[in-house]
Amino acid sequence: MSIDMYLPSLPAIAAEFGAEPAAAQFTLAGFFVGLALGQAIHGPLADRYGRKPPLYAGLALYVAASVGCALAPDMATLTALRFVQAVGGCAGIVIARAVVRDRFDARTSARVYSLLMLVMGLAPILAPFAGGWILVFAGWRAIFAVLALFGLACLFAVWRFLPETRPANTITGGGIGATLRIYADLLQDRGFLGYALSGGFAQAGMFAYITGSPHVFIELYGVPAQAYGWLFGLNALGLIASSQINRRLLLRHSADSILRRANRTTVVLGLLLLGIAAGGWGGLPALLVPLFGYLASLGFTAPNAMANALAWQGARAGSASALIGALQFGVATVSSTLVGLLGAGSALPMAGVIAGCGLSAYAAHRILVGDDANGER
């Protein structure tokens, strides 16, 4: 929601503040930095104090920052407040993964993550569509007011419906030193790192698409803001469908074996997208085909990489989930920034970054996990 709903408004934001399109895209990069750093904070807190208290604090911060974004007087303030908004909102990301790990084993976790992607996949369908209409009738600032109300609804849902899944007698103690030691141990685990980076690089390609697509679709190809939501939603449908196919495949195949095949697919589709963008063949319809395929492949990479990375983390699941998020959104920050820096005259920067992310995802798994993984870690 926080990313997808305001995407159609990026050109309007740049126009109101008299800025270049790249400046508006940097509000996304600031959000990704906040997601990366915030998760590194919320994860250890969730291990020490339980899952719900950090979630309450994060959502409260998210609501306050959303209100601030709606009132932002300039691009610099908006970018800073988007960073704060992400620091608060990412509590939901890291703690949701830890809650799943608290309750299920690796293969079942992968199936649950696939189910979560069904729910999460509705946001890219509905949010840009809703954001486009809010932009037309009320302006871009109203989008952030709606996000503030959404945050309040989430606070109520957590209070009313979410049980505490972290048993009180296993909550870990220790301060910053203990947290840093856990992170150091995790970074020396080749299997954990391989799965985390494989999923992170693959998803970074999606964030390159999220950053670059408003400019490519709306400004280069003249797609109306409202219609942009439909194109964005079409790609999200592919992600939803593949994540549910993944749930069924997990009944017969290991998460690792599915991930290996998906990584090869992202390489092929990323290079195909790059070739089409470089050659200028077929216009927007030709670009949409490999984009759809790449984004759909994430339904096979993201849940399986996450499940295997967290499979043996036990009591430090919150910290492990936080480190995964920090690594993934750190890579996403780089990918989205590169799209903005490489120029705005064609679809080539977006396509090139996506292709590089697909290659990096394959390489991370191949080098760090290798051929000996049994798929259940």
Q: Closest by alpha carbon to 43, among 311, 325, 308?
A: 325
CA atoms within 13 A on the CB side of 128: 26
Q: What is the pLDDT of residues 308-351, one digit of tens each?
A: 988 877 667 778 888 888 888 788 888 988 887 886 678 899 99
All domains of the chain in start order, with CATH = 7-369 (1.20.1250.20)
Residue 289 buriedness (CB in 10 A; 0-12 / 13-18 / 19+): middle
DSSP state of 377: -
Range 105-122 average pLDDT: 74
Contact status, residue 82 vs residue 74, Cβ threshold 8 Å: no
Range 171-184 average pLDDT: 72
Range 38-50 average pLDDT: 81
Structure-token pair, residue 154? 């989430």
Structure-token pair, residue 329? 């959104």
* Amino acid identity for residue 347 in this structure: A
Contact status, residue 146 vs residue 293, Cβ threshold 8 Å: no
Contact status, residue 127 vs residue 1, Cβ threshold 8 Å: yes
Which ranges in the chain belong to alpha helices (H)? 10-16, 21-49, 52-70, 75-103, 106-138, 140-161, 176-187, 190-213, 225-249, 255-279, 283-310, 317-341, 348-364
- Confidence bin at 153 (pLDDT 50/70/90): very high
Q: What is the pLDDT of residue 170?
A: 55
Range 58-71 average pLDDT: 95
For residue 261, is it left (φ>0), alpha (ψ between -120 and 50) or beta? alpha
pTM of the model: 0.75
Contact status, residue 255 vs residue 107, Cβ threshold 8 Å: yes
Distance CA 153, CA 344 (A): 37
Q: What is the pLDDT of residues 202-249, one digit of tens each?
A: 999 998 998 888 888 888 888 887 777 778 778 888 888 998 899 899
Q: How far is CA 154 from CA 63, 124, 150, 158, 176, in A?
A: 10, 18, 6, 6, 29
DSSP string, 128-168: HHHHHHHHHHH-HHHHHHHHHHHHHHHHHHHHHHPPP-S-G
73 pLDDT more than 90: yes
167 pLDDT more than 70: no
Q: What is the pLDDT of residues 238-296, one digit of tens each?
A: 888 998 899 899 989 988 999 999 999 999 999 999 999 988 888 888 999 999 999 99
Average pLDDT of the chain?
85
375 pLDDT more than 50: no
Range 162-167 average pLDDT: 74
- Work out the number of other CB atoms within 10 angstroms of the CB of residue 161: 7
Q: How far is CA 41 from CA 155, 319, 320, in A?
A: 19, 9, 12
Contact status, residue 146 vs residue 5, Cβ threshold 8 Å: yes
301 pLDDT more than 90: yes
Distance CA 239, CA 252 (A): 21
